[in-house]
Amino acid sequence: MAQVAQKNLTKQRAVVLQVIRQAEQHLTANEVYDRAKQLLPTISFATVYNSLRFLKDAGYIAEIEFAGSASRFDKRVERHDHALCVKCGKLIDIDLEIPQELVQTAAILSNFRPDSIEITLRGLCPDCTE
């Protein structure tokens, strides 16, 4: 994974990046804001939000978007897959070996030139199945 030099980041952006890199899970913008405030009490939600946009566009972080719920931000920017609990919202990383046939079939169906596929497994996490 290519780590981009952090020296050009403003203090606010560096704090937002630090929060995401230290998180044990994929945070929403609100969760990033709550943690960033503890490190930099003067930071505003708008600044956190704009920093997230900047860091995503610059390739420092990835955003995982869900229809109908808040995006999560991911410190892993290389291709990987996720499992999402439909009951509690827990989102974890998984690394699947994607069969080349699946990529080719998707390319044929969409008429797109294939680049990558990310898969999200939806279901119940171990805590929610008990």
Q: Closest approach of Cβ 121 to Zn ion, in Å?
A: 12
Q: Which is nearer to Zn ion, 37 or 80 (CB)?
A: 80
Q: Closest approach of Cβ 85 to Zn ion, in Å?
A: 3
> In the chain, where does DSSP find H-type helix?
11-22, 29-39, 45-57, 100-110, 126-129
Q: Closest approach of Cβ 20 to Zn ion, in Å?
A: 11
CA distance 129 to 76: 27
Which residues pair with residue 81 across a beta bridge?
94
Establish if 27 lies at the interface with Zn ion (CB under 5 A): no
Q: Closest approach of Cβ 28 to Zn ion, in Å?
A: 13
Q: Which is nearer to Zn ion, 76 or 122 (CB)?
A: 76
Residues 66 to 95 in contact with Zn ion, rule: CB under 5 A: 74, 76, 85, 87-88, 90, 93
45-57 and 11-22 helices cross at what angle (nearest 10)?
Answer: 80
* Block residue for tokens 């046939």: 101
Q: Which is nearer to Zn ion, 18 or 107 (CB)?
A: 18
Residue 106 contacts residue 114 (beta carbons within 8 Å): yes
Contacting positions for Zn ion (CB under 5 A): 74, 76, 85, 87-88, 90, 93, 125, 128
